[in-house]
């Protein structure tokens, strides 16, 4: 670990939903946490105050800003790349720029962020991406681009696991199923349909996803690398 015996953790996209639960979990476990957000300044500052963490306004779509901010933070023990967007609809109607933006935030940013963090990451560090069960199963219309963006991450972690393995750095993707957040509220209109694909028919809480992330960041998971860990109530089963 870096500077002190406190684990230093950077969460990209930590102001709301799953990312905020990950910030709370690591801060509660005693880590020194920095997190980014794009536009939700009020919840970000509130969360920073509540957890004693540091909020950074940083749009993952801006590669230059992203990589220089990460390099400026110095040695990070754990990088969690949670920032992601969801765009869905008839591919014949969807705006091409919106799809390119989705690919930029969901695929390009994780790659560049992981590489930037790895430059200064201590041996035994952890890189954890938040993918989706839609990497493996897309049982609804209108989700081709989102599914593609999340499927890209499983190839990415396999490759980066090989690249950084000699330093004991693990690289994995956590693939949630429906999780109760602003992106996918547990009382939303498609819930019955989504639950019909699941063995255990309920949304996850963000805390359940954060628990898997915390386990991957811990010493017991030192040999788990290049893996996709799915937590989806059997959505993809």
| Given the residues 26, 146, 197, 235, the one annotated as active site | 146
Nearest distance in Å: CB 45, ligand NDP: 11
Q: Which residues sit opposite 78 in a β-bridge? A: 9, 126
Nearest distance in Å: CB 31, ligand NDP: 18
* Of 19 and 226, CB closest to ligand NDP: 19
Q: For residue 146, indicate whether it is catalytic.
A: yes
Nearest distance in Å: CB 228, ligand NDP: 12
| Euclidean distance between CA atoms 169 and 88, whole angstroms | 34
Rg (CA), the chain: 17
8 A C-beta contact, residue 34 and residue 11: yes
* Of 6 and 111, CB closest to ligand NDP: 111
Q: Which residue, 163, 176, 85, is CA-closest to 130?
A: 176
* Of 118 and 210, CB closest to ligand NDP: 210
Q: Which residues bind to ligand NDP, rule: CB under 6 A?
A: 13-19, 36-40, 59-61, 82-86, 105, 130, 132, 176, 178-179, 181-184
Nearest distance in Å: CB 62, ligand NDP: 8
Q: Which residue, 137, 180, 129, is CA-closest to 18?
A: 180
* Of 124 and 234, CB closest to ligand NDP: 234
* Category of 76 on φ-ψ map: left (φ > 0), alpha (ψ -120 to 50) or beta: beta
**Tokens 């090989």 sit at which residue?**
162
Catalytically active residues, by annotation: 146
């Amino acid at each position: 670990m870096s500077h002190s015996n406190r684990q230093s953790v950077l969460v990209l996209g930590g102001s709301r939903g799953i990312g905020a639960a990950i910030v709370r979990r690591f801060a509660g476990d005693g880590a020194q946490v920095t997190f980014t957000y794009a536009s939700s300044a009020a919840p970000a500052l509130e969360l920073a105050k509540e957890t004693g963490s540091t909020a950074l306004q940083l749009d993952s779509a801006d590669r230059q800003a992203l990589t220089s901010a990460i390099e400026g933070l110095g040695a990070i023990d754990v990088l969690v790349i949670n920032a992601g967007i969801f765009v869905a609809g008839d591919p014949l109607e969807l705006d091409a720029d919106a799809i390119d933006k989705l690919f930029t935030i969901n695929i390009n940013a994780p790659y560049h962020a992981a590489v930037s963090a790895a430059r200064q990451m201590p041996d035994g560090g952890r890189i954890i991406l938040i993918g989706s069960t839609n990497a493996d199963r897309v049982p609804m219309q209108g989700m081709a681009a989102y599914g593609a963006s999340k499927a890209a991450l499983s190839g990415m972690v396999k490759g980066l696991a090989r690249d950084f393995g000699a330093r004991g750095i693990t690289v994995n993707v956590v693939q949630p199923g429906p999780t109760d957040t602003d992106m996918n509220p547990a009382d939303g209109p498609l819930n019955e349909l989504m639950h019909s694909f699941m063995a255990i028919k309920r949304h996850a809480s963000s805390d359940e996803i954060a628990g898997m992330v915390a386990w991957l960041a811990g010493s017991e998971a030192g040999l788990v690398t290049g893996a996709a860990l799915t937590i989806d109530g059997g959505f993809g089963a």
